[in-house]
Chain A
């Protein structure tokens, strides 16, 4: 009636090849990352750093969907490390309230992660990917703006544009109004991607951004200093399983060699190269490591 044998053979073939494909991963270290450029870049950077300074083999599981996926995979041992942000650890994972002192946040996540999950935060890499308030360069010059306190003084002459969420979050516009006494002439809500265009075409004067966003460069925006430390700190650092560190003790020194090495501007620049110039993450990461003398040419 029909070719039953062929169907059965096909089935077995598919099963067999998939089973074979499944049992790979003989690498010593598995590095994860979240699914946005900066985190992929950092995952790549750490992988290269380990490969160049040890004999260990590294498997990259970059581009995993969000904090939860990375964190759970790290906890159950599918990952050995990934880069997270102190503020995310504090608020998203530990479910604690906002704290503004960066050192205190780091100490808390360090202690709690160790105690609750057996995970260790390495030295922070330096930059702080928090919310930032940005204006066009000409606006900054015109009103001689450097800090958010400066901005508050002239806010009634300017228009704020941001995505809807920023107007609703306590660590967004409501908090800004309260802390700095800002009151803009007008506020507009829009899609994240459109903010940059809108500020470029002068439809808005002020917007919120992530401090290390590469588009701050392409749109020539100036980030104003958060002089009252209103935004919670989001310092990036590798988070590693304790048992991985015990198995490969040399990792700790290698990962900490990135400590305080990347400034906000440098991270911005690297994101810019990938997002706007279309360069490969691995190339950008490697160039940076060479430039800092962390790996050989």
Chain B
């Protein structure tokens, strides 16, 4: 049981790490292509392409660069998390009503202030939806990390599959499912707090 717990913690760490690093890249990237729309097509198709690479192939490719172990798993999760976050950031910002931006401008806000106090807060629900998708996906994908020497709950799931040991498969997959549900729930809570009063 202790082993299941440790693997669950490791699984959560891997998934969160992947999404957090992706956030640091994806949100600025989303803002960038919102400002400079000429790049939007290229960036979004690129993230689309990344998303279509089968996960085992992606891991095998990344392994050539990052070697065996958790670093490669995290790198893969970062790449898979890019699309939902970049796209939702871009879409969310684009959907902000021009009249509100105009109002900000009328109040004498600088470009940065408008982004910080008007556009981002208004786009937040859409951005958060992207982050939630990315997190749940990451928790799922992290289960195959074991195939390139990573840890997490996949260790139990794959061992169970080889030995046709259903109990072991469940010991890996139930905590993974619970993690996904829990993460989505908590992100929902965070989203509520982040959205400024007066919206909704």
Contact = CB atoms under 8 A, between A and B. Distances in A.
Interface of A: 1-3, 7, 11, 14-15, 17-18, 21-22, 25, 32, 35-37, 40, 61, 63-66, 68-69, 72-73, 76, 78-79, 274-275, 278
A78 B65 CA distance: 12
Given A35-B147, A73-B68, A78-B69, A14 B20 contact: yes
13 contacts: A7-B190, A14-B20, A32-B68, A32-B149, A36-B162, A65-B59, A65-B60, A69-B59, A69-B60, A72-B63, A274-B163, A275-B162, A275-B163
Contacts of A21: 10, 13, 70, 151
Contacts of B158: 35, 63
Interface of B: 10, 13-14, 16-17, 20, 56, 59-60, 63-64, 67-71, 74, 144, 146-149, 151, 155, 158-159, 162-165, 190, 193-194, 196
Contacts of B193: 2-3
B-side interface mostly? helix
Nearest to B70: A22
A64 B70 CA distance: 13
Contacts of B10: 21
A211 B149 CA distance: 28
B63 A22 contact: no
A35 B59 CA distance: 15
A159 to B, nearest CB: 27
A63 B168 CA distance: 15
Contacts of A61: 68, 149
Contacts of B56: 65
Contacts of A66: 60, 147
B127 to A, nearest CB: 14
Contacts of A14: 13, 16-17, 20
Nearest to B68: A78
A15 B17 contact: yes
A278 B63 contact: no
A76 to B, nearest CB: 6
Given A22-B69, A69-B68, 13 more contacts: A11-B20, A14-B17, A18-B14, A63-B147, A63-B155, A63-B159, A65-B60, A69-B63, A73-B68, A73-B149, A76-B67, A78-B69, A278-B165
Given A22-B70, A63-B159, A78-B69, A72 B64 contact: yes
A63 B20 contact: no
Nearest to B23: A11
A247 to B, nearest CB: 19
B160 to A, nearest CB: 11
Nearest to A4: B194
Nearest to A12: B20
A18 B63 CA distance: 18
Nearest to B24: A11
